[in-house]
Amino acid sequence: MRWLSENFPYVRGLLWQHAWLSILPIVIGLAVAVPVGWWASRHRRWRGLILGFGGLVYTLPSLPLLIVLPGLLGTSFLDPINVVVVLSAYAAALLVRTATDAFSSVPEVVIESARAAGYSRWQQVVGVELPLAGPVLLAGLRVASVSTVSLVTVGALIGVSNLGALFTDGFQRGFNTEIVIGVVGVVGLALALDLLWLGLARLAMPWRVRGAA
């Protein structure tokens, strides 16, 4: 505890770095997965291919991917961009299946009713399909969020600073307290982001989340 209070600015800096290295990939992954998943749910022929590709990306181990990527992108080895790209790819791969399932679960008859009521194509998607797919999307987002926060730590092995640096530093110095503070920080951040998504979902979908909780 004394170590924490003496090094508080350092830990706080790592926490902020960790937070944005987590939030950015989660948001990018969601932004990619929702339209792709919607498309896959409407085009049966593409569905298998898209879901198969997502599964393949998710199979690739993270540390090797972090090392291969600079060679492919031409980025510097230490660039945090590599971490963002790899984790965005994982989040998108995980969420594209959820999004496809979510949009597929919207009953055809509901979409037809919306069309009959004079909704334009765009209004159907945004006003009817997306809200109905919302709760399933939220469930997937929560899983992707937890695993992203945990995976960011791997970046510390190649020198990208985040809470994982407390693991490598604590390990080299044989100082367990630092590692435990890191684990608590990561789990705490995962929990805080989970509450953030739940809160945002409650604002966006007041009808459903209240009933579910």
Binding site for another protein (CB under 8 A): 55-56, 59-65, 67-68, 71-72, 74, 77, 143, 146-147, 149-150, 153-154, 156-159, 163-164, 166-168, 170-171, 174-176, 179-180, 182-183, 186-187, 190-191
Sign of CA dihedral 68, 70, 76, 81: negative
CB of 10 vs another protein, minimal distance in Å: 17
Quote the CA–CA distance of 65 and 101 in Å, as a whole number.
Answer: 27
C-beta closer to another protein: residue 40 or 163: 163
C-beta closer to another protein: residue 180 or 200: 180
91: which 2 tokens? 């989040």
The answer to whether the CB of 14 falls within 8 A of the CB of 162 is yes
Instruction: Identify each DSSP E strand in 19-124 by its residue range.
Output: none
C-beta closer to another protein: residue 49 or 60: 60
C-beta closer to another protein: residue 138 or 190: 190
CB of 128 vs another protein, minimal distance in Å: 29
User: Between helices 80-104 and 62-73, what is the axis angle to 10°?
Assistant: 110
Quote the CA–CA distance of 198 and 209 in Å, as a whole number.
Answer: 8
85: which 2 tokens? 């790209």
C-beta closer to another protein: residue 67 or 200: 67
The answer to whether the CB of 193 falls within 8 A of the CB of 149 is yes
CB of 56 vs another protein, minimal distance in Å: 7
CB of 159 vs another protein, minimal distance in Å: 8
CB of 189 vs another protein, minimal distance in Å: 9
163: left (phi over 0), alpha (psi -120 to 50) or beta: alpha
